Structure 1
């Protein structure tokens, strides 16, 4: 089974957790991995949350040095099995299975997140983003993406409790971006087009790589 076939199957099985209909494109992957940068005299620690079939993982791995480490936090057991087969022989990589908020995270220079926050509730979104930002080392960055044009569509097309949940999640994301985002870039070469947000802990300078 190809990675794309597995991704589509899991989208059908667990749409809420998978979120996307196709793996991230190379352009989106490069944008998400933009701040996986050379360390300043120390081994880098990187975390990828929601790597799925590894579309972004491959780009992150290419940027790692021999002493760097990459933790992969994947909740979907079938994706986790695929990642274990693909990267289990690389001592720099460690697989964390289950929801990321259930793990006691280490501290990281760079975090790349591919979770579909639009599919979560506000409390879960706030818990995950808060935990990831707290896990950043001084000068570290958190990068995540959202599909361009989807938030206003959700506001228009949802009603009742679904609309209330959508508005609450978007409020959490808006507050987080206003406080922590230092750059947002649009990636047109993806299905659908996406916006990548780069964040840093409030009051701390980020490593501006790439």
Structure 2
């Protein structure tokens, strides 16, 4: 409905280190609502890679942010893209991807790519619109997130965003698992979430 707000961007980029030379990867930057905030935080430090599948957006971002390495490709290609850039593991992956609109296979392969490139102590952040959390695809993504990372913490709702949204903060990527094991873990995450909801009601 509208570009992501500055407040949502600030919540999303919280894991970007304030010192050192981190490797920060941005997925689905679109028109750059988060890109500019990341650049402000880095202040010329480290490396900022932005992966954008839309060639028009990618071209615009490269022109607006000359310090950002903009790659016109899909997010699932992240392991290859990072290897070709020779930056090693990512310290932070920030995602603006519309996870609830992605099919199951794309959700899984893209999230697996994120998990594979993150450093052991790395952080992954993404956001969800509040109104979309009831969608089956959004619930599926939340389960996949829980099966891919040992720690997943939802942030406070940013009511000033249009529409309102909140951020998922994920840390400690799990070792690479088979699809069957991921499905099992996702089911367990969903069962625990349902049990907690039942206890609260």
Q: Give the TM-score, by structure 2 length.
A: 0.75
- The aligned residue for residue 141 of structure 1 is 123
Tell me whether 1:95 sits opposite 2:70 in the alignment.
yes
Q: Secondary structure of 1:53's match? A: coil
- The aligned residue for residue 53 of structure 1 is 31
Contact 2:7 2:158 in 1 (8 A): yes
Contact 2:100 2:132 in 1 (8 A): no
Q: Secondary structure of 2:3's match? A: coil
Q: 1:125 to 1:66 in 2, by over 3 A?
A: same
Q: What CA distance in whole angstroms lies between the structure 2 residues aligned with 1:122 and 1:169?
A: 10
Tell me whether 1:173 sits opposite 2:142 in the alignment.
yes
Decide which of 71, 90, 94 is 2:49's aligned counterpart.
71
Contact 1:48 1:57 in 2 (8 A): yes
Which consecutive segments of 4 or more residues in structure 1 shift more than 4 A?
none
Q: Secondary structure of 1:192's match? A: coil
5+ unaligned residues in a row in structure 2: which ranges? 83-88, 176-201
How many angstroms does 1:63 deviate by? 0.7
Q: What CA distance in whole angstroms lies between the structure 1 residues aligned with 2:137 and 2:161?
A: 27
Q: 1:203 to 1:128 in 2, by over 3 A?
A: closer
- The aligned residue for residue 7 of structure 1 is none
Q: What CA distance in whole angstroms lies between the structure 2 residues aligned with 1:35 and 1:168?
A: 26
C-alpha root-mean-square deviation of aligned residues, in Å? 2.0
**Number of matched pairs:** 166
CA deviation profile, 1:9-40 (whole Å, cap 9, x unmatched): xxxxxxxxxxxx2211000010011111134x
Q: What CA distance in whole angstroms lies between the structure 1 residues aligned with 2:44 and 2:138?
A: 39
How many angstroms does 1:183 deviate by? 4.5
How many angstroms does 1:168 deviate by? 5.3
Q: Secondary structure of 1:186's match? A: coil
Matches within 5 A, 1:27-42: 27-39=7-19, 42=20
- The aligned residue for residue 103 of structure 2 is 121
Contact 1:49 1:74 in 2 (8 A): yes
- The aligned residue for residue 165 of structure 2 is 194
How many angstroms does 1:191 deviate by? 0.3
Q: What CA distance in whole angstroms lies between the structure 2 residues aligned with 1:102 and 1:125?
A: 13
Contact 1:109 1:137 in 2 (8 A): yes
Contact 1:134 1:201 in 2 (8 A): no
Q: Give the TM-score, by structure 1 length.
A: 0.72
